[in-house]
Amino acid sequence: MDKLTNKEEEIIHVLWKLKKAFVKEVVAELPKPKPHYNTVSTVIRKMEDKGFIKHETFGNTHRYYPAISKEDYRKRFFSTAIQNYFEDSYKNVVSFFAKEEKISADELREIIKIIESKK
């Protein structure tokens, strides 16, 4: 499975929210400025080719739905990011967020409790 582009990620988030949707419903949920219907339709078909979306046929139209769960995509996304940017080290990830002040000492203690409770 390929990586999603930013526009494709916007669309998959809409489909995770709506569960199933026609192109016009996806367009309605996207932020302004709204992309053209044909543009969204093309992006959705490309996502279907990549294996991220499937469809049901209703006459001449299709209703689309995610072929991958948000959780499965999140796992793939983070695994790839950790490999590519943090030398495959979760310690490096936590250190990065601590240095950037994106995580507090209390949150780190909470994470340690979670880890210790799994043992």
Do 62 and 99 fall into the same domain? no
Residue 74 lies in a domain: yes
Residues whose CB falls within 8 Å of the CB of residue 96, separated by 6 or more in sequence, listed in order: 86
Do 85 and 110 fall into the same domain? yes
Do 37 and 84 fall into the same domain? no
Identify the domain boundary among 29, 44, 66. 66
Among 91, 97, 94, 48, which residue's Cα sits nearest to residue 68? 48
Do 24 and 60 fall into the same domain? yes
pLDDT tens profile 15-50: 999 999 999 999 999 999 999 999 999 999 999 999
Q: What is the DSSP string of 21-55?
A: B-HHHHHHHSPSSPPPHHHHHHHHHHHHHHTSEEE
pLDDT tens profile 69-119: 999 999 888 888 899 899 999 889 888 988 888 888 899 899 899 999 987
Residue 1 lies in a domain: no
Q: How many domains are there within the chain?
A: 2
pTM above 0.75, yes or no: yes
Q: What is the CATH number of the domain that holds 59?
A: 1.10.10.10
- Domain range for 59: 6-66
